[in-house]
Amino acid sequence: MTEPRERREGGCLCGAVRFAIDRPILGMAVCYCRACQHISGGGPNYVVLAPREALQLIKGEPRVHTILAESGHEIGRAFCADCGAPLWAETHDGTPFMPVRAGALDDPSDLTITSVLYTREAQPWHLIHQGVRTFERMPPARRP
């Protein structure tokens, strides 16, 4: 990762929903769980970890689809109701970050993957990133 940016912006494909992250990103993860494969259309889910209090809605209002995660906690997946583009996940387990879809950022080109999650659910044809922390399941949340 290059020099951390203090502010990033992003949004959906059609522009109906816009958001800002006003602090540096904490990391970037790739998730191969089956839920992420469903919402991505088959591939993994690439997310940046934004400090929870740093994500601010600028325009529009996303829809949220809530499911029960393997942890037993609810997780809401925010997306644009107009174009369907996925935006972020709303976790309810006390983690200090929000997983924001890397593709929803205006410019994610300077980011580097720091973790790979749920490799046990990856398809045989998925390419797994090498040289980073890799977990068969979700690792325990680190709290400050």
The CATH number assigned to the domain holding 17 equals 2.170.150.70
Do residues 134 and 74 touch, judged by C-beta distance below 8 A?
A: no
CB atoms within 10 A of CB 69: 16
Tell me if residue 111 falls in helix, strand or coil: coil
What is the residue range of 58's domain? Answer: 8-134
List pLDDT tens digits, range 49-58: 999 999 999 9
Return the H-helix or E-strand segment holding 36. helix 34-40
Q: Is the pLDDT of residue 74 over 90?
A: no
Domain assignment of residue 78, yes or no: yes
Establish if 84 belongs to a structural domain: yes
Q: How many residues does the chain have?
A: 144
Residue 100: pLDDT over 90: yes
Q: Decide if 140 is inside a domain.
A: no
**Into how many domains does the chain fold?**
1
pLDDT digits (tens, 9 = 90+) for 12-68: 999 999 999 999 999 999 999 898 899 889 999 999 999 999 999 999 999 999 988
Side-chain-side CA neighbours of 99 within 13 Å: the count stands at 24
- The set of residues, in sequence order, having a beta carbon less than 8 Å from that of 128 and lying 6+ positions away, is 32, 116, 119, 122, 134
